[in-house]
């Protein structure tokens, strides 16, 4: 199953690319580099990888925020 990510800044269903870059800048370098490396490995935008990590933390079955149904 492949997730599609809208990279337009006005998207409300996915993580905004500008917001993702701001979040990544706040992480320690080794964490930021790991996100960037993973994005390159799977040929996804880094904001998609960050979104998948957050969604997966909140809902193990979610691929993105669209699928995410947090139970907390």
For 31-57, the DSSP string reads: HHHHHHHHHHHHT--HHHHHHHHHHHH
Res. 63: pLDDT tops 60: yes
pLDDT band at residue 1 under the 50/70/90 scheme: very low
For residue 71, what pLDDT is reported? 84
Between 12 and 57, residue with greater pLDDT:
57
For residue 31, what pLDDT is reported? 96
For residue 13, what pLDDT is reported? 87
Contact 20, 50 (CB under 8 A): yes
pLDDT in tens, 10-50: 557 899 999 999 999 999 999 999 999 999 999 999 999 99
């Amino acid at each position: 199953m492949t997730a599609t990510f809208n990279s337009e800044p006005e998207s409300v269903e996915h993580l905004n690319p500008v917001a993702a870059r701001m979040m990544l800048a706040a992480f320690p370098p080794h964490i930021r580099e790991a996100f960037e490396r993973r994005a390159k490995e799977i040929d996804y935008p880094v904001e998609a990888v960050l979104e998948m990590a957050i969604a997966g933390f909140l809902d193990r079955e979610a691929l993105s925020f669209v699928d995410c149904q947090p139970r907390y």
